[in-house]
Structure 1
Amino acid sequence: MLSFFKKGKIEQIEALSPITGQAVDLSNVPDPAFAEKLMGQGIAIEPKEGKVHAPFDGKIAQLFKTRHALLVEHSSGVQVLIHVGVDTVSLKGEGFTAHVATGDKVKQGQLLLEFDIAYIQAAGYPVITPIIVPDGQEAVKSVEEYTGSVTAGQDKVVQVNL
């Protein structure tokens, strides 16, 4: 995790890509809640492999019981939502393996979830994965988004300015 400090205060959080693939604008997500940024700002990743890694050091604020999504919380309190696929809640956890639970402390790059891309696609769901900084977080001043080819744990996809 890379953070910049000013007088002991975190000024920005760099979220490294949790998934290897192609980072694209949220407008590419076939769900208006994400595409129109109704839930918050961020990017989406077209995954090349079915693994989700921690974007920074923090804790799992929530692992959804269907394992298709989770909230990772930075020490600053800022949360990032990683939502694997679109409408994948309908799979009721099939095709997903969690390696963490709500409340677990995690290190940047740690494996959090695995998902079966072929299974999800065969069930008729897109695997494009939104990475969202949910609206309503008072500490967040702005969010910068980075697109292009990304490798999990190496490339910055979102910078949160506090």
Structure 2
Amino acid sequence: MFAKWKSKKEKNPTEVLVLEIYAPVSGQAVPLSGVPDETFAGGHMGKGIAIEPSEGRLMAPFDGKIAHVVKSSHAVIIEHSSGLQLLLHIGMDTVSLKGSGFTSHVTSGDEVKAGQTLIEFDIAFIQAAGYQTITPVIVTSNGETDLEMDYHYGPVVAGKVIILTVASR
């Protein structure tokens, strides 16, 4: 159901590894360029996609290990066994909330399963405090440089809709 590397053969005998990444949060998937923060929109953190969440639950998009949980619990980095890392960042400038409105269910080093709740967050509280909840999903590293990414926009349901397909040669 969630992300798995799958082998595919192209016209040449070179093997291509493909990772399908499912939505970590339900909502509307939009291009990263639509994020109201140049660091994300400009791709300075990496390539990816963003989701305007409709519910306040961030889930693991694949089986992996928690590489880092930001102290204020508004962001987490999860690492796939392939080495690919995703930054899941809830909202813009939400670090200013100093953890208010966020409940982390994981700590750095935890092994997690696809669909496991990582962080719960209060959308109404965050918005009432004047912050946007748009959530970038960024590929930060993978140990390789030759990546192709396909983005899948529109309505998404956490754990049920693929938002990114990452291919590595």
TM range (shorter): over 0.9
SS at match of 1:34: helix
Q: Distance in 2 between matches of 1:151 and 1:120?
A: 21
CA contact 1:10–1:76 (8 Å) conserved in 2: no
Write the mapping of 1:12-161 to structure 2, written as runs, cut at 5 A: 12-134=18-140, 137-140=142-145, 141-161=147-167
CA drift of 1:3 comes to: 2.0
Aligned partner letter, 1:110? Q
Aligned partner letter, 2:65? K
Q: Residues 10, 92 of structure 1: CA spacing in aligned structure 2 closer, same or farther, 3 A cutoff?
A: farther
- State TM-score, norm by structure 1: 0.93
CA contact 1:97–1:115 (8 Å) conserved in 2: yes
* Residue number in structure 2 paired with 1:11: 17
Aligned partner letter, 1:24? V
Which runs of 5 or more residues in structure 2 are unaligned?
10-14
Larger Rg: 2
Which runs of 5 or more residues in structure 1 are unaligned?
none
* Residue number in structure 1 paired with 2:12: none
Q: Distance in 2 between matches of 1:150 and 1:58?
A: 21
- State TM-score, norm by structure 2: 0.89
* Aligned residue pair count: 160
CA drift of 1:132 comes to: 0.5
List structure 1 runs of 4+ shifted beyond 2 angstroms: none
CA drift of 1:10 comes to: 7.5
Q: Distance in 2 between matches of 1:10 and 1:16?
A: 19
CA contact 2:18–2:167 (8 Å) conserved in 1: yes
CA drift of 1:137 comes to: 3.9
CA drift of 1:112 comes to: 0.6
CA contact 2:8–2:18 (8 Å) conserved in 1: no
Q: RMSD over aligned Cα, in angstroms?
A: 1.6
